[in-house]
Amino acid sequence: MSVPTTGETYSQLMEHLRKAQEAAAMLAHLHKANDHHETSRRWLLVSENFQKMQYTLTQLATRSLN
């Protein structure tokens, strides 16, 4: 059993956020295709918030390395 590193853990977190962002974007697309435009816009906002979280975590990780 190996001890997790900060870099590996950060990488896993970013991968999960990327997948969540993609899933939210797909839900937005699917709801728009079914003429549920309000729900589609809300899922798009969720997708954008995941992207913002990725950016924030990258900034945090960059600062902790310096």
Kindly state the tokens that stand for 47.
């997708």
Domain coordinates of the chain in residue numbers?
Answer: 13-65
pLDDT at 34 (0 to 100): 92
pLDDT at 65 (0 to 100): 64
At 28, phi and psi to the nearest 5? -60, -45
Mean pLDDT, residues 33-44: 95
pTM of the model: 0.85
Q: Which helix (H) or strand (E) holds 42?
A: helix 37-65
pLDDT greater at residue 61 or residue 56: 56
Across the chain, mean pLDDT equals 93
